[in-house]
Chain A
Amino acid sequence: MHPLERLVNLVALLLESTRPLTFDQIREAMPEAYAQQEVASAKRMFERDKDILRDVGVPVEVAATDAWDVEQGYTISKERYYLPEIDLTPEEISALFVAAHAGGEDATAEQGVRKLLYGADGAFLARTSPPPVASESRGLDARLLAAAEAIGDRAGVRFTYRTSRGARSERLVDAYGLVVRGGQWYLVGLDRERGEIRSFRFSRMVGELERADAATPPPDGFRAADHVVAAPWGPGDAREHAVVAFSPDVAWWATSGLDGVEALGTREDGWHVMRLPTAPGDGIVSWVLSFGPDAELLEPDTLRADIVRRLEAVLA
């Protein structure tokens, strides 16, 4: 008998049975599967089958078969097996179908959405096709899923983090929320050592993200997105400002997608002058330098002097 037939039959048997079944009763009910060999090896095969069912997500439970707790039997609770009714519109199911297939080789989301399809309008689905996505689109980061689970369980997480300036350190964070911004995922939480709520870009985590002990709950009215400021060099709370002029070639896109940018006007030479929030550190200096001769930092003087110094070091 083919394993697939055996597994389907086993699910049907345990799902339809009104009481827990012992291995002997299962063997008796499915002789072609578990009675073709001696008990010990049949039992091993059954154990493997049970593991496969649990692996697939079938909730096989162990329960006493009688009030005296003499024998243990196996059962699948209908309530725990079946997907609850989710009142999704055809548009919503289609949108989820598209999203699940949008990128990455990781098939977990696709498996998930297939379970929702049964409630969809077939004709509507037929018109849905996933958006084309390039092969380099990364699948969901395993660390992102681990962080999502930690937030779900209100647990802390531990990871190695590399800041935008390259410094590495170990972080222990009470995970409060996830934010997606411009295709990048961020974790927001309380950095226990620093005693502050910080944001961390997943792509800057080094190695794995591990679960730590229980976390404190987020403060009242907490909004994770408030802690992810899209400064040019990544997240960071804006405490200062810089004024930068951009050539017409780059001015139209240089600051798109950044928060808190104020256009101050156009210079006589056609360059656009903008005021940008900046975080402490020299992130803004290297960001402005990445535009080469297409950007000029005007204020503050200290950062302007830093840029000139950096340029002279290259030319020395």
Chain B
Amino acid sequence: LPEPRPGGTKASERLRRLLVIVPYLVRHPGTELDELCRLFGVDEAELLDDLGRLFLSGLPPYGPGDLIGVDIEDGRVWIDMADYFSRPLRITRPEALALYLRGTALADTPGVAGSSALATAARKLGDALGRETLGELAGHVETAGGGRPAGSLDVIRHAVERHERLRIAYYAQSSAETTERDIDPEEVFLAVGRWYVVAWDHRSDEERLFRADRIRSAVATGERFEPRGLRGAGRPLYTPSERDVDVRLRLGPDARWVAEYYAVDETRELDDGRLEVRLPAARLEWVARVLLRLGKEVEVVEPESLTDRLVDVANRTRRRYVDSSPDILSVG
């Protein structure tokens, strides 16, 4: 066993961790260090350090057979003489609440594997932990569906696994256009209840993120690609680009939500109660459409071209109302 090292993670965190790792090892003797690190979210050096401390611990007055035995061989760990730690510490109320809520939320996300197991698990947790831990909460957390199903998700996942190039029809919110393009999809990931695909886009010859629920159709081209190691998970959804224009807006009370909803990189409270924000945008069409819905609640500070674009969008929209009479009887 390595010599314990000083410093590092707080003793309370390390204790919290040990009180769950030890019962796991009692139940699963010979578990690999790698697996322990993955399951318990700890790096190997810290884990070895913790196990080293454990080796020096036990039940006072530490008679023969009272010290915990720790054995590490060929990257596997065995523990003995720790019967009193053979079951983990009870789950705390905040832990149970957080787990219960996350489980319920993920069970509601369309396209998640095992969502039925999740639903039954959340129910069993509710039953077993009962009133003492969850109080009246069990049975009062519901899922309403309504997640946007992405019809092409299975095709895309299959293509990711087999490194298959896809031809997709994609509706881009930024330009409000549907285009066809070939993509090399590398990872499908989840963000705020939606699925995204990170891919090499052959139309722009760049790495791009695509919202799965905006992919209208996806067909395998039959070609294979060499993965470039593009990562989806852990990255921000908005990637700054050289083509970005700085858009500066002043938001009235009814428009302040814009600052929460879009990737805003600067905000300033104005004396008149409005909020000035700066947001980078590679395309102005989507910004103009947002402005259209906000009406008088927003003022454009810059760029001037955005005001022109807004007038253009308003004109194109008004034409719908002038040229067509609202005759829904001609519906076929």
Contacts and interface: CB of A to CB of B under 8 A. Distances in A.
B189 A56 contact: no
Interface string B50-72: 10011011111100000010000
11 contacts: A4-B15, A5-B53, A100-B99, A122-B31, A134-B234, A140-B98, A179-B142, A243-B328, A273-B331, A293-B316, A293-B320
Contacts of B203: none
Interface stretch (B109-117, B219-227, B241-249, B264-272): B109-117
Interface string A108-151: 11111111111100100110000111111110100011001101
A47 interface: no
Interface in A6-28: 7-9, 11-13, 15-16
A58 B93 CA distance: 12
Given A230-B144, A257-B146, A149 B93 contact: yes
B13 to A, nearest CB: 9
Contacts of A4: 11, 14-15, 18, 50, 53, 57
Q: Report whether over half of chain B's contact residues are helix, strand or loop; otherwise say mixed.
A: helix
Given A8-B15, A56-B12, A95-B114, 17 more contacts: A5-B53, A12-B58, A13-B59, A57-B91, A85-B128, A102-B190, A103-B190, A112-B91, A118-B87, A125-B35, A136-B237, A138-B192, A183-B147, A257-B146, A257-B149, A290-B290, A314-B310
Contacts of B233: 132-135
A114 B40 contact: yes
A265 B194 CA distance: 29
A181 B147 contact: yes
A301 B178 CA distance: 31
B290 to A, nearest CB: 7
Interface stretch (A36-44, A66-74, A190-198, A220-228): A220-228
A267 B319 CA distance: 17
B28 interface: yes
Given A176-B140, A292-B289, A134 B91 contact: no
Interface in A154-171: 154, 162, 165-168
Nearest to B35: A126
A218 B141 CA distance: 13
Given A12-B59, A308-B321, A225 B106 contact: no
Q: Pick the most buried of A85, A89, A182: most chain B CB atoms within 10 A of its CB.
A: A182
Nearest to B314: A314
B87 A82 contact: yes
Contacts of B316: 292-293
Contact of A131 (B101, B145, B190): B190
Contacts of A119: 27
Interface string A219-250: 00001110010100000000000010000011
B293 A132 contact: no
B321 to A, nearest CB: 5
A91 B296 CA distance: 53
Contact of B146 (A138, A168, A182): A182
A165 B254 contact: yes
Contact of B214 (A133, A136, A152, A253): A253
Contacts of B255: 166
B94 interface: yes
Nearest to A136: B237
Contact of B98 (A106, A138, A266, A308): A106
A184 interface: yes
B311 A314 contact: yes
A2 B120 CA distance: 42
Contacts of A266: 331-332
B61 A166 contact: no
B282 interface: no
Interface residues of A, number: 136
A267 B41 contact: no
A239 B318 CA distance: 27
B305 interface: no
Given A9-B57, A59-B90, A119-B27, A95 B314 contact: no
B292 A290 contact: yes
Contacts of A137: 190-192
Contact of A132 (B20, B187, B253): B187
A273 B20 contact: no
Contact of B84 (A3, A15, A291, A308): A15
A115 B117 contact: no
B328 A313 contact: no
A140 B101 contact: yes
A59 to B, nearest CB: 7
B2 to A, nearest CB: 14
A93 interface: yes
B103 A99 contact: yes
Given A111-B95, A114-B20, A225-B143, A265 B332 contact: yes
A102 B50 CA distance: 27
Contacts of B315: 315
A167 B255 CA distance: 11
Contacts of B16: 56-57, 111
Which 9 pairs from chain A and chain B are nearest by CB?
A: A183-B193, A152-B135, A132-B233, A112-B95, A166-B254, A134-B191, A92-B121, A132-B189, A265-B331
B236 interface: yes
Contacts of A56: 12, 15-16, 19, 89
Nearest to A80: B90
A116 B121 CA distance: 11
A62 interface: no
Nearest to A224: B142
